[in-house]
Structure 1
Amino acid sequence: MPNGATKRPVLRASTSALVMGVLAVLFVLATFSAMAWQRRADLLHDRQVNNERLADTLAEHTGGMFRQSAMVLSLVSERLDHQRGLSAHDPVFGGFLANVLRHASTVTAIRVITPGGHYLHSYPEIPPEGTSVADRDYVQAHLAGESSLVIGKPIISRVNGKRVLPVSQAHRSPDGRLVAVIALMIQLDHMNELFDSIRQRPNGTVALFNADGTLLSRGPFDEGLMGKDFSQGPLFKEHLPQAPTGSYTSVVATDGKLRQASYRRLGDVPVVVSVSTLHDDTMMQWEGYATTLLTIAIPLVLAAAAITWAMHRQLVARERFERLLARRSADLELANEELRHIAEISAHHLQEPLRTVLSYAQLLVRKTAPDGNSEVDDYLGFIRSGIERMRAQLNALQRYLGVAQCRPHEPVSLPRVLAETIDLLEPRLAAAEAEIRARDLPEIMGDRQHLSGLFHHLISAILERRRPDTYQKIGLSAERDGEMWHLLIRADNTDIDFGEGETSFPLLAPGSSPTRGGNPTLSLAICRKIVQLHGGSMWAETTGDGETRLHVLLPAE
């Protein structure tokens, strides 16, 4: 590793599974939380939109009502301008008022009041004699010089005992002197019932305020709030100074509760309409939705947590087993390396003691046995034969141990490797009168040197067991078997009997001897080792007609 380089920590599979499980749980929670908060925002927005629509409708309705009242006041004022003298309760003027009142559905009574507070005209009721309204706020406003439309506080009429909302206008002479106060009485009970019928249930409110903050009408009706001053509330203190129309969420002054409210200030009439809904009502609806999401999310989270924990435990057990297997594999590899090293040393260093035994046996025979003693010569032959067999077996062991691990795999063309092997074995093939035919051999990933040795040892083993004075045919073919290539080598006229089923291709078979010029058992053992190093398998069979078949499975990639 270069100086200064740091090794990146690698997460184990169990830790990765645990992290992924936690992320999955967090994803579920985040998704459902986002859905819940989005639903909350949607509900609040929908409630605000509904409030604004209702406020627009009420503003139009209330504006029409007050515009109608202003028109009636103007008609009465014009009639007073043309009236010759003002006699109290003139029947002709009373008929005029009755006719006007029939066309003004929202007006319940019309009063003409003198600056002193006495009734000059009244319809439909005539007040008791001596009744004075000089203390009413709308009369006081006109006495103070107010000439525009005045909406007074809600009152109980001293004429008919009903709760009414006075709307008045001053009637002045050309020189500006107050001649009379013309007042319309709008019955509040009908207005309150109307507001109560159109408010949103269960806790919505509809309110009508004077421009100075006085509550004029409300649905639902509340006796204690009528005529009360709310000019210090958030509507008049914070929002109306900023915009004549709008929406807000705040603790309102009327009942001290958190509400969503929309308001409209009428441009030509000094009143404000307000529509509000209780914030808790919206939250209750949202809480029901959130509870539903929660009942769905909890099983998902528990399932994800259970699956994650199960996977974590399984992977922990697997990692523990892999670590144990790695330690055992390392121990086995070390043991194999030591065994290989001992075998190599043994195979190399045992050659010299064998030569020494043979030399001293020959010297011993020369000194102790008379010349021409055939029995001693036989004994010496047995010693020599045993030594030669042992030497051949040591050489075979060295050759077998010489098959090292595979180099990095590369694409290898088996037809080309076979052609090179045939060129190399051409003298032996010609001497044995053997013919090799191959078809459909593929290109695979492997160690080129080992695969060349595989073909060399396979063909050599077959040639070494050819029956004398026979013509031999060797065939090679291949077909794809899933992720493996199945190589089939057929040879006739051989005296190798593998029997039925699989064989282990032992390194040194019982009674094996190199006296016939080769060692097919060793060659096949080396072939098996090369195939196993490539991750494949090898087996053989002998058919009833004496044909030998060698099967080799090699990975395709």
Structure 2
Amino acid sequence: MPTRFLDRYYTPGVAFKRAPLRKAAVLFVATVCLCLCGLLYLQLEQSRRHDLNQAQIASSNLTRAMAQQAEDTFMKADLVLTSLVDWIQVDGFGPALRPRLQKTFARRVLSLEQLHGILLFDQKGQWIVTSFESLPRGPGVADRDYFKFHQQNVTSAAHIGAAIRSRENGEWIIPVSKRINDKNGQFQGVLLAGIKMSYFDQFFKSFSIDDNGSMFMALTDGTLLARRPFVESQIGTSLARNEIFQTLLPQASSGNAMLTSVVDGIVRLFGYRQLEAYPLVVSSASSRDSILAGWYDTAFRSGLIVALVMLGVALFGWVFLRQVRVGERVEADLRKAQEALELIATHDSLTGLANRRLFERALDIEFGRGARQSSALSLIMLDIDYFKRYNDTYGHVVGDHCLAQVARAIKGCCHRKADLAVRYGGEEFAVLLPDTDIHGAMTLAEQIRRSVMDKNISHTGSPTGYVTVSLGCYSFVPTGRDSMEVFIQRADAALYQAKHAGRNRSAVLSMEGHVEALMRSDR
């Protein structure tokens, strides 16, 4: 195998210089530990996201169920009030009708377990008829917000007010009320159905949530109506500054978010939903700690296992480093083997010419040398004419023999030590010529072309009847900012012009990129 090119383009101990083995071992141990930590982080992060995603799904399902239950509860009360208001507005609520109204109210309350009672007030807020057997005593309800609302608004829609204590028995209720008008549309009173807060409390308790979880129902203005856990002092307080009401609800009527509760400061995953039919918002929340309790346990156990593995790797690295000195004894032998591998790696086994790897290294070196010395650098690209036909006619074994013969012809024309003959790929070859201008390149190209012809390699698929080659030449003076790809492309362009002009000839590409000459010397 020729080695004259390696003397110029290969420096043992430089191209394959490596870090000291001890540093490499330390780097390896550190890399393994970092990889283990990275894998642990990815696994735990994926697990955490999965747990949070499952919690979001559960939260969405729970708030959907809460919204449906709340809507059904208020809709039934609304329907009862609507039918009664229609009746009262037609027949009135004179003294003769009041006993009948009382019995009807009582029956309706018994038919709906969520109802605390039904109460009718006149235009001054005084009790007229209730579902209870006796009328409460007192100043009336003219001071209640729901009563004032109906005095000031002519809407016939049901109004849901803030939670209040019943003046009948002190029980917490959520008032659902409707305005009563006379035949002229003038305000005549209010009909109210009280929804037991205990009804929602029992409904909330039917769901399993963690000790720090919470559920609530509020008006759309943020007024808290019901909550689990029930804290009496919080009923009626405003949640308006809660991020659900300030930010999330204006963007979407339902969703999930990890928030810090404004009520107790606990971080929870909140699911929220605004009812379509009524100005109500329901929300359920599970504390972040309860959602991730299993994940925390997994993270601890996984972290412990990874820590033990890392300790084992570190111990192994320590033992390994102690054995490095023994390994250093074979360093010289390894270096020699490395150099031998380099010889194999830089030459084509079939033709004995340099391969593309050595060619690219040589280009890099010669570009730098040419730029420093302002000397011309030339490149000849050539390939065998109609070689596919040759392989199809004679077979690949004979084709390989043909490639070897052409390679010998090329090597026979490269007399200088600096000239580098390369098998560029397939049937294509290259010759790198340092310190050579375009005239010298063209002269050598013609020598190679004639040398191949002189081999008289039979080729029935060629118009000439024997193997010929086409060659493209390009030369320039490197500047230090040149592109190897462009250098090769321009020589290749000259080769293409030679083939396009009829093959079995040499072409020269000028530095401006124009084909300046085509040469052929037919026998």
The TM-score bracket by the shorter chain reads: 0.5 to 0.7
Is 1:55–2:63 an aligned residue pair? yes
Match of 2:80 in 1: 72
Give the alignment of 1:425-444 within 5 angstroms: none
Instruction: Give CA-to-partner distance per residue, 1:326-357, whole Å, 9 cap, x none.
Output: 9xx9xxxxxxxxxxxxxxxxxxxxxxxxxxxx
SS at the partner of 1:100? Answer: helix
Match of 1:248 in 2: 257
Match of 1:218 in 2: 227
Cα distance in 1 between the residues matched to 2:169 and 2:193:
14
State the Cα distance separating 1:244 from its structure 2 match: 0.8
Match of 1:44 in 2: 52
Counterpart of 1:183, as a letter, is L
Distance of aligned partners of 1:271 and 1:129 in 2 relative to their CA distance in 1, 3 Å threshold:
same
State the Cα distance separating 1:195 from its structure 2 match: 1.5
Which ranges in structure 2 are unaligned for 5 or more consecutive residues? 1-6, 337-348, 350-523
Distance of aligned partners of 1:88 and 1:264 in 2 relative to their CA distance in 1, 3 Å threshold:
farther
Give the alignment of 1:463-478 within 5 angstroms: none
| TM-score, length-scaled by structure 2 | 0.59
- Report if the CA contact (8 A) 1:72-1:104 is conserved: no
Bigger Cα Rg: 1
Match of 1:209 in 2: 218
State the Cα distance separating 1:11 from its structure 2 match: 3.1
Cα distance in 2 between the residues matched to 1:134 and 1:59:
31
Counterpart pick for 2:126 among 118, 121, 144: 118
Cα distance in 2 between the residues matched to 1:146 and 1:263:
31
State the Cα distance separating 1:125 from its structure 2 match: 4.7
Match of 1:359 in 2: none
Cα distance in 1 between the residues matched to 2:108 and 2:158:
18
Match of 1:365 in 2: none
Cα distance in 1 between the residues matched to 2:174 and 2:181:
23
Cα distance in 1 between the residues matched to 2:97 and 2:244:
43
Is 1:281–2:290 an aligned residue pair? yes
Match of 2:237 in 1: 228
- Report if the CA contact (8 A) 1:137-1:152 is conserved: yes
State the Cα distance separating 1:17 from its structure 2 match: 3.4
- Report if the CA contact (8 A) 1:195-1:219 is conserved: yes
Match of 2:110 in 1: 102
Is 1:157–2:188 an aligned residue pair? no
Which 10-residue stretch deviates more, 98-107 or 263-272? 98-107
Match of 1:290 in 2: 299
SS at the partner of 1:108? Answer: strand
| TM-score, length-scaled by structure 1 | 0.55
SS at the partner of 1:249? Answer: strand
- Report if the CA contact (8 A) 1:216-1:226 is conserved: yes
State the Cα distance separating 1:14 from its structure 2 match: 4.0
Cα distance in 2 between the residues matched to 1:65 and 1:310:
74
Give the alignment of 1:351-430 within 5 angstroms: none
- Report if the CA contact (8 A) 2:210-2:287 is conserved: no
Which 10-residue stretch deviates more, 74-83 or 231-240? 74-83
Cα distance in 2 between the residues matched to 1:324 and 1:259:
65
SS at the partner of 1:175? Answer: coil
- Report if the CA contact (8 A) 1:192-1:221 is conserved: yes
Cα distance in 2 between the residues matched to 1:88 and 1:121:
12
- Report if the CA contact (8 A) 1:192-1:218 is conserved: yes
SS at the partner of 1:206? Answer: strand
Match of 2:481 in 1: none
Counterpart of 2:291, as a letter, is T
SS at the partner of 1:94? Answer: helix
Counterpart of 1:205, as a letter, is S
CA RMSD across the alignment? 2.6
Distance of aligned partners of 1:146 and 1:240 in 2 relative to their CA distance in 1, 3 Å threshold:
farther
Cα distance in 2 between the residues matched to 1:63 and 1:161:
25
Give the alignment of 1:459-538 within 5 angstroms: none
Distance of aligned partners of 1:140 and 1:196 in 2 relative to their CA distance in 1, 3 Å threshold:
same
- Report if the CA contact (8 A) 2:114-2:199 is conserved: no
- Report if the CA contact (8 A) 1:265-1:273 is conserved: yes
Distance of aligned partners of 1:2 and 1:167 in 2 relative to their CA distance in 1, 3 Å threshold:
farther
Give the alignment of 1:309-388 within 5 angstroms: 309-319=318-328, 321-322=329-330
- Report if the CA contact (8 A) 1:89-1:120 is conserved: no
- Report if the CA contact (8 A) 1:111-1:119 is conserved: yes
State the Cα distance separating 1:290 from its structure 2 match: 0.6
SS at the partner of 2:150? Answer: helix
Counterpart of 1:128, as a letter, is P
Counterpart of 2:223, as a letter, is T
Cα distance in 1 between the residues matched to 2:58 and 2:195:
28
Counterpart of 2:55, as a letter, is R
Distance of aligned partners of 1:207 and 1:199 in 2 relative to their CA distance in 1, 3 Å threshold:
farther
Instruction: Give CA-to-partner distance per residue, 1:289-329, whole Å, 9 cap, x none.
Output: 1101112111111111111221222123321x446999xx9
Counterpart pick for 2:18 among 5, 10, 26: 10
Instruction: Give CA-to-partner distance per residue, 1:454-491, whole Å, 9 cap, x none.
Output: xxxxxxxxxxxxxxxxxxxxxxxxxxxxxxxxxxxxxx
State the Cα distance separating 1:88 from its structure 2 match: 8.2
SS at the partner of 1:198? Answer: coil
Counterpart of 1:271, as a letter, is L
- Report if the CA contact (8 A) 2:219-2:279 is conserved: yes
Distance of aligned partners of 1:8 and 1:69 in 2 relative to their CA distance in 1, 3 Å threshold:
same
Is 1:263–2:276 an aligned residue pair? no
SS at the partner of 1:186? Answer: strand
- Report if the CA contact (8 A) 1:152-1:165 is conserved: yes
Counterpart pick for 2:34 among 2, 18, 26: 26
Match of 1:137 in 2: 145
Cα distance in 2 between the residues matched to 1:88 and 1:142:
26
State the Cα distance separating 1:189 from its structure 2 match: 2.1
Instruction: Give CA-to-partner distance per residue, 1:6-40, whole Å, 9 cap, x none.
Output: 64531344443333322222222111111111111
Counterpart of 1:309, as a letter, is W
SS at the partner of 2:251? Answer: coil
Match of 2:473 in 1: none
SS at the partner of 1:87? Answer: coil
Cα distance in 2 between the residues matched to 1:325 and 1:180:
108
Distance of aligned partners of 1:179 and 1:241 in 2 relative to their CA distance in 1, 3 Å threshold:
same
Counterpart of 2:67, as a letter, is A
- Report if the CA contact (8 A) 1:106-1:186 is conserved: yes
- Report if the CA contact (8 A) 1:109-1:124 is conserved: yes
- Report if the CA contact (8 A) 1:125-1:159 is conserved: no
Match of 2:186 in 1: 177
Which ranges in structure 1 are unaligned for 5 or more consecutive residues? 330-409, 411-557
Counterpart of 1:270, as a letter, is P
State the Cα distance separating 1:76 from its structure 2 match: 1.0
The alignment-based identity, stated in percent, is: 24
